[in-house]
Structure 1
Amino acid sequence: MGSRRAGEIALSHVGSGTVTEVEAETEHGRTVWSVKIRKNGTRYDVHVDRASGEITRSRTKTDDDHGDADDDSGRHGRHGRHHD
């Protein structure tokens, strides 16, 4: 799957917004697209499995938030807090 399709999947997951970045990454040995979306002052980081199109992680961060908030909406549940 390409980066454009990953962006579409991530936008569908979030509901709407603007894709600001799509980057290929490897997370826990799994290749994913990291899709960054902005919507109403909130930033979303959605990871989409490059082979299956499955959402593997979804995090949100508001402009006034100093930490990441994990969203437990991925099929495999929460992966814990991630600090970049």
Structure 2
Amino acid sequence: MSMISEQGGFQWPALMRLGIKGLGLKPAEFWALTPAELLLLLGAGSGTAPMGRARLEELARAFPDAQAGDGELKGQDNVLCAE
């Protein structure tokens, strides 16, 4: 759910519901926050970006799944894998 309307303004009714009902803020506390502070409290921008293909390929080159001489994967001692 975007907190920015199609016209570029904030969706204040939705933000008020999230801040007052969702976060338990008092109206005075809600209105004392800046929009950036409110969005931070709501968790906007707090997640880390998912791994991209370039990073996955970099990790695959650094840690290849090379076969050991006895048919087991290197570094996978005593690990059973379901096929």
TM norm structure 2: 0.26
Specify which structure has the bigger relative contact order, considering alpha-carbon pairs within 8 angstroms and separated by 6 or more residues: 1
Choose 1 or 2 for highest CA Rg.
Answer: 2
TM norm structure 1: 0.25
Choose between structure 1 and 2: higher strand proportion.
1
Choose between structure 1 and 2: higher helix proportion.
2
